[in-house]
Amino acid sequence: DDPETSVGLAYVEGITDGRALLQRFAGVAARKPLVIVKGGSTAGGAAAAASHTGALAADDKVFDGACRAAGVTRAITVEEAFEAAATFATQPLPKGPNVVVLTTAGGWGVVTSDAIYRDGALQLMALPADLEAQIDTKLPPRWSRNNPVDCAGGEVRDTIPEVMEMIAAHPDVHAVVYLGLGIQSNQARLMAEGHFYPGNGLERIVAYHRRQDERFAEAADELSRRYDKPILTATELAVADTDNPGPAAVRASGRLCYASGNRAVTALGHLYRYAEFRRSRGLD
């Protein structure tokens, strides 16, 4: 009932009154997202739970189905639970399953596409012809012309914010995953650690690359708010270099920077399933 709480997160181990617990879960999920981590979901975990609290583990398939029916988000790991909760707290719910991946790193776009297909509910949508034509005005002829939108190393100063807005503004796009943030700042770090820095005009180049990543993160936040669509930013630099200006700017905007495209897609899948639950129950 707390108006200042936007999402619930709980750990469940032993269940003595399943009906009452699920009724309570459903009551919460009808008002706000509820993320659950359940211990004892495997034979080994159930044995540990019994020795830990003396609780009997519920049948995991039954529990899983009951959670889905109640609109509860079930996370398999603690990391997934925290990332799901943070995503619910900081991103709008998608209005449909269609996802576009915007990337400056081709391989990560492929891996993220795999994750979207494995999700089973999200859709790696085909680019609409009008959106492809728009993007074509900003990228070199070698760009992917497909989803993921691979910029093919053809970015200039404003390419990423401009293409991101084209994607976010399109009515058929429901969510965006942006990959490659922090690459320019990482190059700047290497320059700044080299023997020719400071001097030789490198200060201006280093500052420019750092500011670019900050601008890209700020654009993702601003466009998400303007178009009321989730835009999830992912880069391994979120954990490999937490001081990188790209991930740091995402955190400064109040959002989560995911450590991989896979983890962003997992979180987005939870958003979509909860949004569908609310629509199916007429809760919006």
Condensed to tens digits (0 to 9), the pLDDT of residues 18-37 reads 889 889 999 999 999 999 99
Say yes or no: do domains 8-90 and 98-277 share a fold: yes
**Range picked from 105-109, 129-133, 139-143 for highest mean pLDDT:** 129-133
DSSP-assigned letters across all residues of the chain: --TT---EEEEE---S-HHHHHHHHHHHHTTS-EEEEES--SHHHHHHHHHHH-PPPPPHHHHHHHHHHHTPEEESSHHHHHHHHHHHHHSPPPSSSEEEEEESSHHHHHHHHHHHHHHSSSEEPPPPHHHHHHHHTTS-TTS-SSSSEE-TT---TTHHHHHHHHHHH-TT--EEEEE-TTHHHHHHHHHHTSTT-SSTTHHHHHHHHHHHHHHHHHHHHHHHHHHT--EEEE-THHHH-TT-HHHHHHHHTT-PEESSHHHHHHHHHHHHHHHHHHHHTT--
Q: Report the percentage of the chain scoring pLDDT > 90.
A: 79
Q: Over the chain, what is the mean pLDDT?
A: 91
Q: Kindly report the pTM of this predicted structure.
A: 0.91
Q: What is the CATH code for 98-277?
A: 3.40.50.261
In this structure, whether the domain defined by 8-90 belongs to CATH 3.30.950.10 is answered with: no
Domain layout of the chain by residue ranges: 8-90, 98-277
Q: What is the pLDDT of residues 167-181, one digit of tens each?
A: 999 999 999 999 999
> Poorest-confidence range of 45-59, 113-127, 132-146?
45-59
| pLDDT at residue 40, as a whole number | 62
pLDDT, tens digit (0-9, with 9 covering 90-100), for 33-63: 999 999 866 555 455 555 545 454 456 788 8
